[in-house]
């Protein structure tokens, strides 16, 4: 079925990104929005806009009934969920298809299967993908958890089976830690996801976080190489790049091939990401999870492969087969993405919405800024603090870093504090320049880079954040 009109069931920069991709394909767009987002850029860009509720995401962007009503009344053929909100909600995907519309993403069965980390781990094992040592399924109580940690040893990570975004996760270094953290993790998982189920994984102490971009049409699947996302704060990605300089060529082939094998095993359709931990010391990699949607950092892959992933999602959802064979996908240069948030790193990443008074965005070859900002825009306080992503390409990593440093130097968002100063320091750091980092590198580094910062949690009342 050819898609002639689609509804964007999201907000912010990803809504803008989807609208641009749709317009390039000649597709009419309808943007839903809350009362707080009447003036957002995506509303101005779309062919039509429909208000679906008050500022609270629970009563607007997470309201399946309201989103579906808007889709049906506007006469669209399809719904694109973006990332966060309802993007990995199997019930929403099913409701869209049950209403006779196209869900731009995998089937609700695939979302349900791969969205549960325990079930996804089983799928990975069946597909021959290496997994982190841990529990074989959900751990129902503390006694069962003790048995697991006695077998695999410490440190361990207690994780929410249905979780993401760093919630419902605790690291235990000792049995006493484990006994204290287990009920806390379960309670947090229940509050955040409505599911208190947990599982346990061995902690890879100096791991790299590497993820493989996949595309599938329900019959075949390919990979678009990998991104490294090891620079994280509170398990939220801050800086992403591709390809990963930590991977030898043979490991890259094995890693990417394993992601394709997993995607084919479930008949995956659309764009997705298979995430891994890579142990640089042993050369081993381990499956973590699958993200059944487009990710915040997808532009990194677009910059190094030349593939428009959002357009590919739309084409596949409309019934097209993959337009690329694996041999058609080639790496070209290096790309780095910096997440620009409305947070003050000098004040413990305190979120601070406000009005954009000035906006000076660097331009030039190899520079891209995905955002929903414009001068005079009032950033609302109700959602995730992501303002946009600065993505820079270079012929190699050194050239990319040099271009990034120059772009950041001339980057200005006036009217509110942002994380631009953080990225300037990262781009100039000797360890970062050497790519000598891992998933536990950034937080100790921040204590030195921003010593006066108070330990304020980076939170928003309702998050549009991706899960990972």
The separation between CA 463 and the C-alpha centre of its own chain, rounded to angstroms, equals 13
The per-residue DSSP string of 376-422 comes to: T-B--SSS--EEEEEEEEESSHHHHHHHHHHHHHT-EEESS--SHHH
Torsion of CA 126, 132, 137, 138, to 10 degrees: -150
Residues catalogued as catalytic: 293
Report how far apart, in Å, the C-alpha atoms of 1 and of each of 78, 316, 317, 319 are.
10, 10, 8, 6
- Cα gap 421→266, rounded to integer Å: 43
Q: How many CA atoms lie within 13 A of 142 on its CB side?
A: 11
Torsion of CA 80, 83, 84, 85, to 10 degrees: -10
Report how far apart, in Å, the C-alpha atoms of 82 and of each of 87, 294, 363, 371, 424 are.
6, 6, 26, 14, 28
Q: Which of 184, 126, 176, 231 is nearest to 445 (CA)?
A: 231
Pairing assessment for the beta strands 412-414 and 284-291 based on DSSP bridges: unpaired
Residues 6+ positions from 341 with CB-CB distance below 8 Å: 349, 351, 385, 386, 387, 418, 419, 458
State whether the Cα torsion 105-111-114-116 is positive or negative: positive
Report how far apart, in Å, the C-alpha atoms of 345 and of each of 230, 413, 460 are.
19, 15, 15
CB 6 within 8 A of CB 15: no
State whether residue 241 is helix, strand or coil: strand
Report how far apart, in Å, the C-alpha atoms of 244 and of each of 39, 210, 222, 234, 263 are.
38, 7, 18, 21, 21
Q: Which of 31, 84, 32 is nearest to 53 (CA)?
A: 32
Report how far apart, in Å, the C-alpha atoms of 336 and of each of 231, 241, 373, 406 are.
12, 4, 21, 13
Pairing assessment for the beta strands 156-160 and 170-172 based on DSSP bridges: antiparallel
The DSSP output letter for 355 is B
- Cα gap 258→382, rounded to integer Å: 39
CB 96 within 8 A of CB 87: no
């Amino acid at each position: 079925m050819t898609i002639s009109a689609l509804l964007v069931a999201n907000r912010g920069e990803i809504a803008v990104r989807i609208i641009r991709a749709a317009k390039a394909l000649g597709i009419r767009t309808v943007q839903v929005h809350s009362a707080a987002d009447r003036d957002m850029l995506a509303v101005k860009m779309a062919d039509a806009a429909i208000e679906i509720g008050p500022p609270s995401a629970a009563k607007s962007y997470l309201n399946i009934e309201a989103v579906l009503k808007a889709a049906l009344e506007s006469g669209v053929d399809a719904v694109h969920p973006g990332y966060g909100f309802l993007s990995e909600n199997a019930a929403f995907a099913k409701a869209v298809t049950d209403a006779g519309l196209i869900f731009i993403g995998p089937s609700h069965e695939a979302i349900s299967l791969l969205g549960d980390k325990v079930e996804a781990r089983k799928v990975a094992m069946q597909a021959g993908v290496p997994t982190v040592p841990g529990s074989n399924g959900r751990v129902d109580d503390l006694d069962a958890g003790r048995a697991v940690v006695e077998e695999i040893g410490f440190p361990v990570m207690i994780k929410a089976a249905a979780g993401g975004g760093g919630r419902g996760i605790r690291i235990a270094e000792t049995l006493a830690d484990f006994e204290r953290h287990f009920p806390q993790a379960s309670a947090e998982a229940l509050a955040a996801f409505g599911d208190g189920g947990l599982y346990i994984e061995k902690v890879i102490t100096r791991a790299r976080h590497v993820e493989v971009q996949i595309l599938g049409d329900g019959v075949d699947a390919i990979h678009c190489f990998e991104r490294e996302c090891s620079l994280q704060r509170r398990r939220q990605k801050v800086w992403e790049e591709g390809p990963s300089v930590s991977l030898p060529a043979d490991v890259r082939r094995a890693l990417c091939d394993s992601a394709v094998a997993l995607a084919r095993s479930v008949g995956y359709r659309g764009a997705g990401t298979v995430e891994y931990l890579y142990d640089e010391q042993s050369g081993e990699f381990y499956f973590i999870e699958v993200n059944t949607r487009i990710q915040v950092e997808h532009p990194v892959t677009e910059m190094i492969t030349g593939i428009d992933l959002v357009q590919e999602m739309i084409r596949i959802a409309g019934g097209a087969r993959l337009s690329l064979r694996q041999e058609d996908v080639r790496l070209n240069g290096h790309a780095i993405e910096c997440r620009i948030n409305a947070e003050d790193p000098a004040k413990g990443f305190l979120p601070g919405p406000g009005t954009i008074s000035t906006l000076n965005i660097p331009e030039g070859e190899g520079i891209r800024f995905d955002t929903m900002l414009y001068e005079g825009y009032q950033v609302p306080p109700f959602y995730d603090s992501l303002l946009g992503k600065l993505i820079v390409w270079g012929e190699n990593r050194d050239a990319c870093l040099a271009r990034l440093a120059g772009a950041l130097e001339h980057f200005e968002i006036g009217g509110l504090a942002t994380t631009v100063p953080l990225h300037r320091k990262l781009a100039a750091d000797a360890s970062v320049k050497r790519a000598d980092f891992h998933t536990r590198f950034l937080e100790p580094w921040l204590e030195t880079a921003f010593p006066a910062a108070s330990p304020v949690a980076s939170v928003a009342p309702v998050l549009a954040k991706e899960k990972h």
